[in-house]
Amino acid sequence: NDGNYSLPAGHLDINETVIQALKRESFEEIGVTLKDEDTKLVHTMHRLASSYIDLFSVSMKWSGEIINAEPNKCDDLKWFDLNNLPDNMVLSVKSAIENYKNNKVFSDFLLDA
């Protein structure tokens, strides 16, 4: 999905909890430190074409300044209003955000193989 906006994301390491992975990936990708109590799981998506399960969370507080900590993997960071997302966004992520806005906690998604 080069050229499309997404969210900081990653995979679980062996013996790593979901929250540990979320905190690790947030630091590795955007340079911020999260606390467990400041993070909330808001949506679960089953991507049917790949059999992946994606977990989406919201963190309203963090420590540090948001930076592009992986410039070899990401060429731009921007904030967007949830009601005005860019056209060039990963479709599954855009769908998850729409589900979050509508308080839908689970979805199946068929694109983005």
Angstrom distance (rounded) from CA 103 to CA 81: 17
Burial 84-96 (b: 16+ CB within 10 A, else e): eeeeebbebbbbb
Residue type, 95: S
Residue 74 has a pLDDT of 92
Residue 1 has a pLDDT of 78
Q: Assess whether pLDDT exceeds 70 at residue 112.
A: no
Residue 41 has a pLDDT of 95
Model's pTM, two decimal places? 0.90
Residue 32 has a pLDDT of 97
Query: Mind listing the pLDDT tens digit for each residue in 15-50?
Result: 999 999 999 999 999 999 999 999 999 999 999 998
Query: Mind listing the pLDDT tens digit for each residue in 56-108?
Result: 999 999 999 999 999 999 999 999 999 999 999 999 999 999 999 999 999 99
How much is the mean pLDDT over the chain?
A: 94
